[in-house]
Amino acid sequence: MRQIRNKAEFDQAVQAPGLTVAVFKADWCGDCKFIDPFMPDVEQKYADDLKLIQVDVEEAEGVSEAYNVLGIPSFIAFSEGREVMRLVNRLRKSRAEIEQFLDRAVEVHTALKA
């Protein structure tokens, strides 16, 4: 997963063609560490449909503020720069919840392109 260090990198990544999903995390976040073991498999599973980027809320704090991300881990899906949906709350996310969100994001992105 590509690491985003600042707002400029973030803007460039989400403006790219296709579907980009930003994963907001922090090193100190226990719920973020909970998803770490399975996220590489999730990323591989969706590699043909979307790009995942990782945003450290402390390192790129302006990004989380700009998108009102208060709880982590959180996910925001962008279709060619336009936010299409989000999974933003302070609750622990399961692999099933994350995959359900990604499936829906792919559906929305595909519908927008039609």
State the catalytic residue, choosing from 14, 32, 60, 76. 32
- Tell me if residue 97 is catalytic: no
State the catalytic residue, choosing from 21, 29, 52, 106. 29
- Tell me if residue 32 is catalytic: yes
| Helix, strand, coil percent values for the chain (each to nearest 5) | 40, 25, 35
Euclidean distance between the first and final Cα of the chain, in Å?
28
Active site residues: 29, 32
